Amino acid sequence: MTLSVKFDRLLDLMSSNSIKIDENFPERDAPVTLAAGATAGSQAFPSPQGSQRNDTALGAPGRKGPVKAPRWLKQLAVQLSAITVLIGIWWAVAAAEIWPPLLLPSPADVFHQLFVITGTHDGIRGYSGYFLQEHLWHSMSRLLQGAAWAVLLGVPIGILLAVVTPLRWIFGPAIDFLRNLPPLAYFSLLVIWFGIDETPKVALLFLAAFPPIVIATASAVRNVPVDRINAVRMLGANRFQTIVHVTVPSILPEVMTGIRVAIGIAFTTVVAAETINGIPGIGGMVSDAQRYNATDVVVLGIIVIGLCGLAIDGLIRLADRLLVPWRGH
Amino acid sequence: MSTASPTATGGAGSQPGSGAPGSRPHGPVAGRISLAEIVHRYGADDPVIDGLALNIEPGEFVCLVGPSGCGKTTLLKLVAGFEFPEGGQVVVDGSRVSRPAGDRAVVFQQPNLFPWLSVRGNVELGPKLSGVSKEDRRMVSDHLLEMVGLADAADKKPWELSGGMQQRCAIARALATDPSIVLMDEPFGALDAITRERLQDELLEIWRQSRATVVFVTHGVEEALYLGTRVVVMGDRPGRILLDLPIGSYGAETGGEVRRSVRDSAAFLDLKRQVRDTIAGARKELS
C-alpha cells in the first residue's frame, strides 16, 4: 500500500516535468478541491487500488495516525537523498581511480573549480578572464535576445499565417523546413554572413526558437472555437476588436506552451552557438575547457547549464500560471 | 432589452447608461424579424432550409421546436448574422442582416463565457466595445447581475461558477448591449432539470420586464409551450415550418404560482399532443 502511494508521488513528480502544466495536482490544493484533484489524478494514472485510499494519504480529515509531514516536504527529502546518493557513488568511483581524473574528475575537483571560477585567485580572474556568473550572464542575455525576437516576430507572424490563407500556403512549408533543420546546419552560414561576434549567435537562437512559436500561434488561432468568436461579434465587435479582445487571450495558453518549447530548444542550442568565439559564455567556457583538457571545468559547466535549464523552465511555468490561470477551462 | 429602464426594474438605478446603448428608445417598435423565401445549404448537400417564411412581431416570445437537423439553429444563425442565406432575405427592423450586431444578442447552448474575464468583465464587454464609459458600464452590470442573481459572484471567474450560474452570466452578457432581439439556442439544454425550471421562470421574468423579442430554440415541446407566446414547429429534410401555433401566453404572461400549475392543465396537455402529432406525422411522411 505505502509503496503504491509513493509510486503515485513519483508519477506526479514526473508529470510535473512534462509539457502539460500541472494545475490538477492533488497535493497543491488538497483540502479544497480534494474530490476534483483525486479524480483527475486517478484518471491520469489509473491505479488498481482506486483513488479512495489516496484521499486519506493526501491529508483528508478523518485519517488515523499522527500528523505526517506535508507531502512536498517528503518529496523534497526523497529527491535530496537521491542526489546525495548519486554524488556519493560519483565520489567513490572517482576515489577508486578506475579512470584517470582527466576522464572522471571527483566531485571535490568540480566543487573546487566552482570556487576558483567565481573569484580571482593568484591574479587569475575566473576562467579565461571572466567569472562563471559572467559567462552565464552572457549566455542568458543571448538566449533572452534570441527568444525575445522569436516571440516578438513569431506571434504576429503566426496570427498572420493563420488568418491569411495564401501566406500560409507560401510560408508554412518554409517554416516547417526551418524547424526540421538542426540549428548547427545553418550556423556555418550565419557565421559567413554575420562574422563571429554576437549577431550570428543571437540569430541562431532566434532561428531555433522562431518556428515552434509561429507554429503554436498559428495552430492556436485556428483552434479558437467559432462560438467564442461569434460570442464577441454578437456584442458588436469589429474585426480588430475581435482579435484584441478574444483571439489574443484565447491563444495565450497554446502560445505559452509554444514559447516554453521554443526556449527549451534555444537553450539546447546555446552551447552550439558558442563553439565559435564563445567566450564569454557558458558554452564557450565548456568548449574551451575541453580544448585544454580541463575536465572538471567541463563537468561544472554541464551541471550549471542543466540547473539553469531547470530554472528557466520553472520560471516559464510560473509565468504561465500567472498569465493563464484559466488553462484547462 | 431596456435593461436600463427604471420602470422595468422597480427603480434599480435612476438613469443608468445615459448615452449608452442602454438608452436607445425602443418600445414595441424594434425587434421585428421577417424571413422570406429562405434557402440555405451547407456545401453541395440538399438545402437545410428550403423556402421558409416567418414573420415575428416585436415583443413576441417565439419558440422553435423540431427534430435535430431541421434547421432551427441555422435559422437562428441567419438572424444573428453569423451566416447568410443562399436565397431569400433576413430583415430585422427594416434592414437586411449583413453582420452580427449588439441589437441581436445570442445565448448559446454552452455559456461560451470568456474565461480570462471576471463575471462582471464578461457582462461589461459588450458596452465596453461600443465605447460606454466605465461608470455607465458598471451601472449596467450591477443592474443585470442583480437581475440574474449573480451580484455576489461578480468578481469570480466563469470557471468558478456552476453550469446554471454560467448560463445566467451568459444571459446577462447578452442583455448588456440592450438588444431588441434575444436569440437563444437551447440555452438550458445542458442543465439539470431543477436548474432548468428555475432558469425558465427567471427568463420569463426578464422577458416580462424588457419586452424584447425572444427567439428560443429547443427540442423540448413542453419547454416551448411553457415559455413561448408562439410555438413554431419545424420539420426536417428540408427544414420548413409545419405548424405555427400562437398560444398567447400560457406561462409567459402569468406570474408566480400560476405558472407552475400551467404545465399540468388540460389545455396545455392538448397543445402538447398537437405539437407531438405534427412532428410524428412529418416523420411518417418522410419514411
Asked if residue B136 belongs to a domain, the reply is no
Contact between residue B215 and residue B79 where contact means Cβ atoms under 8 Å apart: yes
- Residues of chain B neighbouring A249 (CB-CB closer than 8 A): 114, 116
Cα-Cα-Cα-Cα dihedral sign, residues A121, A124, A130, A132: negative
CA nearest A244 in B: which residue? B129
Question: Longest Cα pair distance anywhere in chain B, in angstroms?
Answer: 59
More confident residue, A94 or A60: A94
Residue B18 pLDDT greater than 50, yes or no: no
Contact between residue B210 and residue B3 where contact means Cβ atoms under 8 Å apart: yes
For chain B, helix, strand, coil in percent to 5 are 40, 20, 40
Average model confidence (pLDDT) for chain B? Answer: 80
Asked if residue A99 belongs to a domain, the reply is no
Locate cell 490544493: which residue? A29
Q: What is the 3-state secondary structure (H, E, C) of B101-116?
A: CCCEEEECCCCCCCCC
pLDDT at position A46: 42
Residues A152 and A60 in one domain: no
pLDDT in tens, B224-262: 888 888 888 888 777 788 888 887 655 455 554 455 556
- Residues of chain B neighbouring A229 (CB-CB closer than 8 A): none
Asked if residue B124 belongs to a domain, the reply is no
Q: How many domains does chain A have?
A: 2
Residues A45 and A157 in one domain: no
Of A231, A236, A249, which has the smallest distance from its Cβ to B102's Cβ? A236
Query: Which value does ipTM take for this structure?
Result: 0.79
Asked if residue B193 belongs to a domain, the reply is yes
Residue A64 pLDDT greater than 70, yes or no: no
CATH of the domain at B250: 3.40.50.300
How many A-B residue pairs are in contact by the CB < 8 A criterion? 64
- Final residue in a domain of this structure, among A67, A95, A121: A67
pLDDT in tens, B41-60: 887 777 888 888 899 988 88
Residue B37 belongs to domain spanning = 6-13+25-103+179-286
* B246 to A11, A107, A191, B56, B197: CA distances (angstroms): 62, 88, 79, 11, 22
Asked if residue B66 belongs to a domain, the reply is yes
Residues A58 and A156 in one domain: no
Give how far A83 is from chain B: nearest CA, Å: 40
Asked if residue B92 belongs to a domain, the reply is yes
Q: Do B100 and A329 touch (CB under 8 A)?
A: no
Asked if residue A215 belongs to a domain, the reply is yes
Task: Provide the residue type at B284 as one letter.
Answer: K
Residues A55 and A139 in one domain: no
Asked if residue B54 belongs to a domain, the reply is yes
The 8-class DSSP code of residue B11 comes to: S
Asked if residue B268 belongs to a domain, the reply is yes
Q: Calculate the CA A161 to chain-centre distance.
A: 26
Residues A144 and A21 in one domain: no
Of A228, A236, A252, which has the smallest distance from its Cβ to B129's Cβ? A236
- Residues of chain A neighbouring B171 (CB-CB closer than 8 A): none
Residues A22 and A147 in one domain: no
Can you tell me the mean pLDDT for B217-228? 86
Residues A139 and A10 in one domain: no
Residues A50 and A196 in one domain: no
Asked if residue A94 belongs to a domain, the reply is no
Q: Does A236 touch chain B (CB under 8 A)?
A: yes
Asked if residue A267 belongs to a domain, the reply is yes
Per-residue exposure over A139-150, b if at least 16 CB sit within 10 Å of its own CB, e if not? bbebbebbbebb
Cis preceding linkage at A253, omega within 30: no
pLDDT in tens, B85-107: 888 888 888 888 888 888 899 99
Model confidence at A279, pLDDT cuts 50, 70, 90, reads confident
Selected residues 73-112 of chain B with any CB under 8 Å from a CB in chain A: 80-82, 99-102, 104-106, 108, 110, 112
Cα-Cα-Cα-Cα dihedral sign, residues B147, B152, B156, B157: negative
**Do the bridges between strand B213-217 and strand B61-65 make them parallel or antiparallel, or are there none, so unpaired?**
parallel
pLDDT at position B185: 92
CATH of the domain at A243: 1.10.3720.10
pLDDT at position B249: 59
- Final residue in a domain of this structure, among A41, A67, A93: A67
Of B100, B125, B157, which has the smallest distance from its Cβ to A230's Cβ? B100
CA nearest B106 in A: which residue? A234
Residues A318 and A177 in one domain: yes
Residues A141 and A241 in one domain: yes
Residue B184 pLDDT greater than 80, yes or no: yes
More confident residue, B248 or A77: A77
pLDDT in tens, A215-229: 999 999 999 999 999
Residue A40 belongs to domain spanning = 2-67
Q: Does A96 touch chain B (CB under 8 A)?
A: no
Asked if residue A85 belongs to a domain, the reply is no
Residues A53 and A141 in one domain: no
Give how far A11 is from chain B: nearest CA, Å: 27
Residue A228 class from Cβ within 10 Å (0-12 exposed, 13-18 middle, 19+ buried)?
buried
Q: How many domains does chain B have?
A: 1
Asked if residue A136 belongs to a domain, the reply is yes
Asked if residue A125 belongs to a domain, the reply is no
Asked if residue A88 belongs to a domain, the reply is no
Return d(Cα A25, Cα A38) in angstroms, integer.
8
- Whether the model clears a pTM of 0.80, i.e. scores above it, the answer is no
Return d(Cα A252, Cα A25) in angstroms, integer.
22
